[in-house]
Amino acid sequence: MIQENQQTKKDPQQTNQENPQQAKTVIPTATKQAILEAMRATYRRPFDIDGTTVWVHSLPALGFSQYGASLERNAEGDVNDNYANEKLVQRCVRDENDKLYFNLSDVTLLAEAKCHIWIPLVNLCNEVNGIGPAAAEAIAKN
Protein backbone atom coordinates (compact mmCIF):
# COMPACT_ATOMS: atom_id res chain seq x y z
CA MET A 1 0.00 0.00 0.00
CA ILE A 2 1.18 3.54 -0.64
CA GLN A 3 2.13 5.49 2.44
CA GLU A 4 1.65 9.20 2.86
CA ASN A 5 4.72 11.40 3.07
CA GLN A 6 7.07 8.56 2.25
CA GLN A 7 10.60 9.67 3.14
CA THR A 8 13.24 10.03 0.44
CA LYS A 9 15.76 7.17 0.49
CA LYS A 10 19.47 7.31 -0.30
CA ASP A 11 20.90 4.62 -2.54
CA PRO A 12 24.47 3.89 -1.36
CA GLN A 13 25.41 2.29 -4.69
CA GLN A 14 24.58 5.41 -6.68
CA THR A 15 27.14 8.05 -5.78
CA ASN A 16 28.25 11.27 -7.33
CA GLN A 17 31.56 10.63 -9.14
CA GLU A 18 32.96 14.03 -8.14
CA ASN A 19 32.03 13.65 -4.47
CA PRO A 20 31.59 10.00 -3.48
CA GLN A 21 30.33 11.00 -0.02
CA GLN A 22 27.17 12.51 -1.51
CA ALA A 23 24.69 9.82 -2.47
CA LYS A 24 22.08 10.43 -5.16
CA THR A 25 18.55 10.71 -3.94
CA VAL A 26 16.26 7.93 -5.13
CA ILE A 27 12.57 8.73 -5.00
CA PRO A 28 10.41 5.60 -4.95
CA THR A 29 7.80 5.54 -7.68
CA ALA A 30 4.39 3.98 -7.41
CA THR A 31 2.79 1.94 -10.11
CA LYS A 32 -0.63 2.69 -11.53
CA GLN A 33 -1.90 -0.60 -10.09
CA ALA A 34 -0.58 0.19 -6.60
CA ILE A 35 -2.22 3.61 -6.66
CA LEU A 36 -5.57 2.18 -7.79
CA GLU A 37 -5.45 -0.59 -5.18
CA ALA A 38 -4.71 1.94 -2.43
CA MET A 39 -7.51 4.20 -3.62
CA ARG A 40 -10.02 1.31 -3.74
CA ALA A 41 -9.09 -0.21 -0.38
CA THR A 42 -11.77 -0.10 2.28
CA TYR A 43 -11.18 2.70 4.74
CA ARG A 44 -13.40 2.63 7.77
CA ARG A 45 -13.35 3.64 11.41
CA PRO A 46 -15.30 2.11 14.30
CA PHE A 47 -17.93 4.08 16.18
CA ASP A 48 -19.55 2.91 19.39
CA ILE A 49 -23.29 3.39 19.82
CA ASP A 50 -24.50 2.23 23.20
CA GLY A 51 -22.00 -0.64 23.39
CA THR A 52 -22.48 -1.70 19.75
CA THR A 53 -19.81 -1.02 17.15
CA VAL A 54 -20.78 0.29 13.76
CA TRP A 55 -18.35 1.18 10.99
CA VAL A 56 -18.08 4.58 9.36
CA HIS A 57 -16.86 4.08 5.79
CA SER A 58 -15.17 6.39 3.37
CA LEU A 59 -17.34 6.70 0.28
CA PRO A 60 -15.98 5.79 -3.14
CA ALA A 61 -15.60 8.76 -5.51
CA LEU A 62 -18.85 7.98 -7.31
CA GLY A 63 -20.74 7.58 -4.02
CA PHE A 64 -19.39 10.92 -2.81
CA SER A 65 -20.47 12.57 -6.07
CA GLN A 66 -23.92 11.02 -5.72
CA TYR A 67 -24.11 12.32 -2.15
CA GLY A 68 -23.26 15.83 -3.35
CA ALA A 69 -25.81 15.60 -6.16
CA SER A 70 -28.51 14.47 -3.71
CA LEU A 71 -28.25 17.66 -1.68
CA GLU A 72 -30.81 20.37 -2.27
CA ARG A 73 -29.33 23.73 -3.26
CA ASN A 74 -30.57 27.28 -3.40
CA ALA A 75 -30.56 29.50 -6.51
CA GLU A 76 -26.90 30.45 -5.88
CA GLY A 77 -25.89 26.79 -5.74
CA ASP A 78 -25.20 26.72 -2.00
CA VAL A 79 -26.28 23.66 -0.04
CA ASN A 80 -29.71 24.26 1.45
CA ASP A 81 -30.66 20.79 2.59
CA ASN A 82 -32.08 20.17 6.06
CA TYR A 83 -31.06 16.50 5.74
CA ALA A 84 -27.46 16.90 4.48
CA ASN A 85 -25.91 15.25 7.56
CA GLU A 86 -28.52 12.51 7.60
CA LYS A 87 -27.82 11.71 3.95
CA LEU A 88 -24.10 11.41 4.67
CA VAL A 89 -24.63 9.16 7.70
CA GLN A 90 -27.09 7.02 5.73
CA ARG A 91 -24.37 6.32 3.15
CA CYS A 92 -21.42 5.87 5.53
CA VAL A 93 -22.63 3.82 8.52
CA ARG A 94 -22.34 0.09 7.88
CA ASP A 95 -22.07 -3.21 9.69
CA GLU A 96 -18.96 -5.40 9.91
CA ASN A 97 -19.86 -6.97 6.54
CA ASP A 98 -20.03 -3.60 4.77
CA LYS A 99 -23.84 -3.61 4.56
CA LEU A 100 -25.73 -0.35 4.97
CA TYR A 101 -27.87 -0.06 8.09
CA PHE A 102 -30.08 2.65 6.63
CA ASN A 103 -31.74 3.31 3.29
CA LEU A 104 -32.86 6.63 1.84
CA SER A 105 -36.29 6.34 3.42
CA ASP A 106 -34.60 6.35 6.87
CA VAL A 107 -33.18 9.86 6.47
CA THR A 108 -36.08 11.47 8.35
CA LEU A 109 -35.69 8.91 11.16
CA LEU A 110 -31.99 9.77 11.47
CA ALA A 111 -32.98 13.41 12.00
CA GLU A 112 -34.50 12.36 15.33
CA ALA A 113 -31.14 11.18 16.75
CA LYS A 114 -29.99 12.66 20.04
CA CYS A 115 -27.04 15.05 19.82
CA HIS A 116 -24.76 13.19 22.28
CA ILE A 117 -24.49 10.44 19.64
CA TRP A 118 -25.34 12.38 16.50
CA ILE A 119 -22.69 15.12 16.56
CA PRO A 120 -19.69 12.77 17.10
CA LEU A 121 -21.07 10.42 14.42
CA VAL A 122 -21.51 13.19 11.85
CA ASN A 123 -18.05 14.54 12.68
CA LEU A 124 -16.52 11.10 12.09
CA CYS A 125 -18.38 10.74 8.77
CA ASN A 126 -16.99 14.11 7.71
CA GLU A 127 -13.47 13.24 8.83
CA VAL A 128 -13.40 9.81 7.17
CA ASN A 129 -14.54 11.37 3.89
CA GLY A 130 -12.10 14.25 3.95
CA ILE A 131 -14.70 16.91 4.47
CA GLY A 132 -12.97 19.80 6.19
CA PRO A 133 -14.20 21.97 9.04
CA ALA A 134 -15.55 24.67 6.72
CA ALA A 135 -17.59 22.15 4.77
CA ALA A 136 -18.80 20.50 7.99
CA GLU A 137 -19.93 23.91 9.31
CA ALA A 138 -21.77 24.63 6.08
CA ILE A 139 -23.55 21.29 6.27
CA ALA A 140 -24.36 21.82 9.97
CA LYS A 141 -25.88 25.24 9.26
CA ASN A 142 -28.27 23.73 6.78
Q: What's residue 19's pLDDT?
A: 59
43-141: in CATH 3.30.2220.20:
yes
Q: What is the pLDDT of residues 71-90, one digit of tens each?
A: 999 999 888 999 999 999 99
Q: How is the chain split into domains, by residue range?
A: 9-38, 43-141
Distance, CA of 14 to chain centre: 39
Count of residues for the chain?
142
**For the whole model, what pTM was predicted?**
0.70
Q: What is the pLDDT of residues 115-131, one digit of tens each?
A: 999 999 999 999 999 88
Residue 30 pLDDT grade (very low, low, confident, very high; cuts 50, 70, 90): confident
User: From residue 20, how far is each of 9, 26, 131 by CA, in Å?
Assistant: 17, 16, 47
Could you please report the per-residue DSSP string of 59-94? PPHHHHHHHHHHS-B-TTS-B--TTHHHHHHHHHEE
